[in-house]
Amino acid sequence: MINMISMSGGKDSTATMLVAIDRGAENIEALFCDTGNEHAVTYDHVGYLEQALGIPIKRIRQDFSKWWWHRRGFIAGHWVDRGVDEQVVEATLAFFDTGPTGNPFLDLCIIKGRFPSRKAQFCTQFLKTEPATGYQLERMEATKDSLTSWQGVRADESPGRAKLPERESVGGGMHNYRPILSWNVEQVFEIHRRFGIKPNPLYLQGMSRVGCMPCINAKKDEVLEISKRFPEHIDRIAEWELLVGKASKRRNATMFAAPGDNETAYERGNIRQAVQWSGTKRGGRLMDMFRVMDEPKQCSSAYGLCE
């Protein structure tokens, strides 16, 4: 039996690994799916975990090259018939002819012609779930062994996750196991302390999520914190919005779209506007100058780690 731990560099996946070690699980293997939208601190932290735990972490990246050229063919064969302006089609095809960027997150967004959203969270499916499952099946085929996929999922994260079972068989000798499903966040950090494992440093810099930078689920305060501490990531998303827009029928794509499916919503939703909104109060009607002008604290944690 292979015990495969899905590692993200975040608190929950690390806690899951520590549970596996604590329970004496054998044949432990670890997997990190690189989305291409992580912070450098997270990449470094994955390396730290590998050394501190003494368990190699396999790093994989999804390659969307085939999808890229399939999408180009679809645009060439169908967009005009579907009423898209010919000049838009020609410009989009010329953009696709430059080839994939090699960044999984960005290539996926370009192929989709949009960024993921809370209602269409395709990033998780195509950048983490599917490549992880593919790798696990490869390991099962190579070893002729069954496999348990240990997943760092907690019920209090969302109503959808609360409905997941702790254990389930997915067939073919593969099983899913969610050992911290009933845990709260205090228990997650407690097992870090018990094993002497440092949490991802981003948790000490105001981040509640560390999987992507920024994550589409980032909260208002987190967007503001990112703009202050890591402005280069805001600049990168701004560049990506321009690139993804070139693959969109609307010629516009935004990381955080404003409510509504119309041109005004898309124009208001770009990353610069999102940063401006993150510094407001009273439903976005008034700028909160104290929050905007306040310098980031040396240590800031949504989980009380600085206390």
pTM of the predicted structure, to 2 decimals: 0.91
Per-residue model confidence as pLDDT tens digits over 175-234: 999 999 999 999 999 999 999 999 999 999 999 989 899 998 888 889 999 999 999 999
User: What HEC string does the chain produce?
Assistant: CEEEEEECCCHHHHHHHHHHHHCCCCCEEEEEECCCCCCHHHHHHHHHHHHHHCCCEEEECCCCHHHHHHHHHHHHHHCCCCCCCHHHHHHHHHHHCCCCCCCHHHHHHHHHCCCCCCCCCHHHHHHHHHHHHHHHHHHHHHHCCCEEEECCCCHHHCHHHHCCCCEEEEECCEEEECCCCCCCHHHHHHHHHHHCCCCCHHHHECCCCCCCCCCCCCCHHHHHHHHHHCHHHHHHHHHHHHHHHCCCCCCCCCCCCCCCCCHHHHHHCCHHHHHHHHCEECCCCEECHHHHHCCCCCCECCCCCCC
Per-residue model confidence as pLDDT tens digits over 67-119: 999 999 999 999 999 999 999 999 999 999 999 999 999 999 999 999 998 88
Q: Domain ranges in the chain? A: 2-62+124-203, 65-99, 220-293
CATH 3.40.50.620 fits 2-62+124-203, yes or no: yes
